[in-house]
Amino acid sequence: MAIPDGFIDEIKARIRPSELIGRTVALKRQGREFAGLSPFKKERTASFFVNDDKGFYHCFASQEHGDIFTWLQKTQGLSFMEAVEALAQEAGLDVPKSEQADPEREARRQRTLDWNEAAHDWFARQLAAPAGASARAYLEGRGLKAADFRRFELGFAPDSRRGLTQALMQKGASVRDLAEAGLVIEPDDGGEVYDRFRGRITFAIRDPRGRMVAFGARALSKDQRAKYLNSPETALFHKGSTLYRYPEARAAASDPKSGASGLIVAEGYMDVIAFARAGLAHAVAPLGTALTENQMALLWRAGGEPVICLDGDGAGQRAAALAAERALPLIAPGKTLRFVFLPDGADPDDLLREKGADALREAVAQPRPLIDVLWERELAAGPLDDPDRRAAFRKRLRELSARIADPDMRAEYRAEFEARLNTLFARAPRPAGRSDRRTGRFEPPPAAPGQDVVKSARMPGSQRAAPMARQLLAGAVEYPAIAAAEAETLAELPFGPLDSLRDAVLDACLDPGFDPDEGLGARLSARGFSGALARLSADRAAARAGLGGEDAGADDRLEAWRKLAASYMEQVAYVVRKAEERARVEDAFNSGDPDAFKSCLAALRRAKTR
């Protein structure tokens, strides 16, 4: 909705930046400005200034700059419209409504919000009252204190059929009001309405604007059919578009001092509370359902890369795979998901109580990328011990990557899947491999002749072959046009532990959208080959020199690379031949047959004289 410029100016005229910002930053007047320590970076001397006359703030330490609207967006993670609404309310102004707005509909929505707030106040009082003794005991048993009850907006719904209903109707609520707010249940037979939540601890659920729109509730009695119960869908509450404690988490994540790289998504209410108590206040939870596309949009709106934290059991793995698959069509550069699986079936609340806050923070410090979850799910789907099953595995991975709408992400996932497939199925010849019946994974046979040339220094002549191999690969990385022109030769050369890097080079060069002039370093690093590139960097100077030096033309470099490749293959053949001769001699010697040993030596002498 468009907001008139005059309305924005009116808000600015009514709210002084120093007053708004001074609530969270200690400011001291310096002439016509106010100064304080930067809220965006740690510092010892003030470099943050607020000017009421000009209506802006500026931070010299971080170069952050803006007005009161930008301030709320930066520090509380609000959208512009949410900042407008919050500041308009503070300024005592009504945000202009569109002409199509229905006054009666808006009035009903406001009544729903008001009665939800009133319900929460009543639940909170019940938790503190004698009736809430059992609920308090349960919460205290899980490590919470009275201050936590207030901080996390907890309450208690007594096991009374009409306790809340009567309390709110005495305040003027109608049955329709309470039904539209989802606070009561209307019997099908037309009987008297009764409280939806009974004998349960309540959790306040707010929408992204901070409005009380619903409740979650946990049963205290094991006899309750449902352990957790949420408010029904209403005009203001949509379960698949809401996250528990999202406003608080978004504000915490937007604080530069938090160190948060994105929101944490836990499974339940108590898990979110556990994270907050451990100093990780940027945690949220879906409301008893798998993570939806709308909830993912909320996560990405808060910035960074959200981390999905799940139990390490089978249910957690399945939930992760479902979230990963749902996210695929939506991911884009800077907009993805990461995953953490907690050990030993523990949940965040268990980990906090048993091992402390440090253990919980450590558990989420090393999240895994989305592609790992998809790969491992497909890898565990069945054995890969014959061509049909391996082909089906490849097809499933390609179908997953094809679902990604963003072309850059789709290309990266396709390339990464292919690289992992090449590593998993690296073998020559393929039929010689065998399958591990326990894991279903294919175990490749011993390397083909020549593969150990760049691994081992014990084989005669390999000291010459290994540096040549690295120089050839370094040359292909340094000059992608060579790799593109000599792709078939490059694919046949043995590079041992650097085969996967060679395959990644070929994948990149054969991509129709690849421009050889843009280089390969960034692409290969993004695919996880930064370590291999670092190890290869020592050979780059020798590779450039061997290909004619810095001033060599493209055609001269290509011809020099071809000659080096031919020389390398001759050296590989020599090393393989020597290894085979040594093996024959050793076999003849170990046979214990002197005649066979003498015959083998005589054959070698004849071969050398020819």
**Token couple for 503:** 């395959």
Residue from 188, 170, 168 nearest 178 by CA: 168
- What confidence category does residue 596 fall into, taking pLDDT thresholds of 50, 70 and 90? low
Pick from 85-99, 132-146, 220-234, 289-303: least confident: 85-99
Work out the average pLDDT over 17-23: 89
Q: Could you tell me which residues come within 8 angstroms of residue 488 by beta carbon, excluding any fewer than 6 positions away?
A: none
The number of residues in the chain equals: 610
Work out the average pLDDT over 379-392: 87
Pick from 15-24, 95-104, 342-351, 405-414: least confident: 95-104
Whole-angstrom distance, CA of residue 237 vs CA of residue 130: 31
Highest mean pLDDT among 2-11, 272-281, 569-578: 272-281
How many contiguous H segments (helices) and E segments (strands) does the chain have? 27, 18
Whole-angstrom distance, CA of residue 475 vs CA of residue 464: 17
Whole-angstrom distance, CA of residue 183 vs CA of residue 180: 8
- What confidence category does residue 581 fall into, taking pLDDT thresholds of 50, 70 and 90? low
pLDDT attached to residue 427? 46
Pick from 100-109, 126-135, 192-201, 286-295: least confident: 100-109
Calculated CA dihedral for residues 237, 239, 240, 244, nearest 10 degrees? 100
pLDDT > 90: percent of the chain: 32
Work out the average pLDDT over 292-303: 86
Question: Is a pLDDT exceeding 50 seen at residue 191?
Answer: yes
pLDDT attached to residue 595? 65
Residue from 210, 215, 213 nearest 198 by CA: 215
Please provide the DSSP assignment of 147-192 as one string. HHHHHTTEEEE-S-SSHHHHHHHHTT--HHHHHHTT-EE--TTS--
Question: Is a pLDDT exceeding 50 seen at residue 127?
Answer: yes
Residue 44 parent element (H or E): none
pLDDT attached to residue 593? 64
pLDDT attached to residue 80? 84
- What confidence category does residue 442 fall into, taking pLDDT thresholds of 50, 70 and 90? very low
The CA-to-CA distance between both ends of the chain, in Å, stands at 90
77: left (phi > 0), else alpha (psi -120 to 50), else beta?
A: left
Between the CA of residue 534 and those of 51, 465, 498, 530, what are the distances in Å? 49, 20, 12, 6
Q: Name the phi and psi angles at 291, rounded to 5.
A: -60, 125
* 461-515 pLDDT, tens digit each: 344 456 778 888 888 888 888 888 888 788 878 877 777 888 888 877 766 666 7
pLDDT attached to residue 456? 40
Whole-angstrom distance, CA of residue 356 vs CA of residue 146: 20
pLDDT attached to residue 610? 46
* 57-102 pLDDT, tens digit each: 999 888 889 999 998 888 877 788 888 888 888 888 888 765 555 6
**Token couple for 90:** 């503070």
Q: Name the phi and psi angles at 163, rounded to 5.
A: -60, -55
Work out the average pLDDT over 139-148: 93
- What confidence category does residue 145 fall into, taking pLDDT thresholds of 50, 70 and 90? very high
Whole-angstrom distance, CA of residue 207 vs CA of residue 234: 12
pLDDT attached to residue 429? 37
Pick from 37-46, 189-198, 539-548: least confident: 539-548
- What confidence category does residue 574 fall into, taking pLDDT thresholds of 50, 70 and 90? low
Query: For residues 594 and 518, is the Cβ–Cβ distance under 8 A?
Result: no
Question: Is a pLDDT exceeding 90 seen at residue 523?
Answer: no
- What confidence category does residue 424 fall into, taking pLDDT thresholds of 50, 70 and 90? confident
pLDDT attached to residue 457? 33
Residue 588 parent element (H or E): helix 554-590
Cis peptide bond prior to 460, omega within 30° of 0: no
pLDDT > 70: percent of the chain: 81
pLDDT attached to residue 151? 95
Q: What is the dihedral sign for C-alpha 221, 222, 225, 231? A: positive
- What confidence category does residue 580 fall into, taking pLDDT thresholds of 50, 70 and 90? low
Cα 258 to chain centroid, rounded? 18
Computed over every residue of the chain, the mean pLDDT equals 81
- What confidence category does residue 576 fall into, taking pLDDT thresholds of 50, 70 and 90? low
pLDDT attached to residue 459? 36
- What confidence category does residue 602 fall into, taking pLDDT thresholds of 50, 70 and 90? low
CA 318, 311, 271: angle at the middle one, nearest 5?
125
- What confidence category does residue 214 fall into, taking pLDDT thresholds of 50, 70 and 90? very high
Query: For residues 348 and 309, is the Cβ–Cβ distance under 8 A?
Result: yes
* 237-268 pLDDT, tens digit each: 999 889 999 989 988 887 767 777 789 999 88
Q: What is the pTM of this model?
A: 0.60
Please provide the DSSP assignment of 179-238 as one string. HHTT-EE--TTS---EES--SEEEEEEE-TT--EEEEEEEESSTTSS-SEEEPPP-SS--
- What confidence category does residue 8 fall into, taking pLDDT thresholds of 50, 70 and 90? confident
Please provide the DSSP assignment of 119-157 as one string. HHHHHHHHHHSGGGHHHHHHHHHTT--HHHHHHTTEEEE
Higher pLDDT, 512 or 343: 343
Pick from 353-362, 546-555, 568-577: least confident: 568-577
Work out the average pLDDT over 281-301: 88
The helix/strand/coil state of 395 is: helix
Q: Could you tell me which residues come within 8 angstroms of residue 178 by beta carbon, excluding any fewer than 6 positions away?
A: 115, 165, 168, 169, 184, 193
**Token couple for 579:** 């290894």
Residue from 598, 581, 597, 601 nearest 589 by CA: 597
Query: For residues 198 and 159, is the Cβ–Cβ distance under 8 A?
Result: yes
pLDDT attached to residue 141? 92
Work out the average pLDDT over 329-353: 85
Whole-angstrom distance, CA of residue 482 vs CA of residue 467: 19
pLDDT attached to residue 169? 95
Whole-angstrom distance, CA of residue 270 vs CA of residue 218: 10
Residue position matching structure tokens 């996390």: 152
pLDDT attached to residue 31? 82
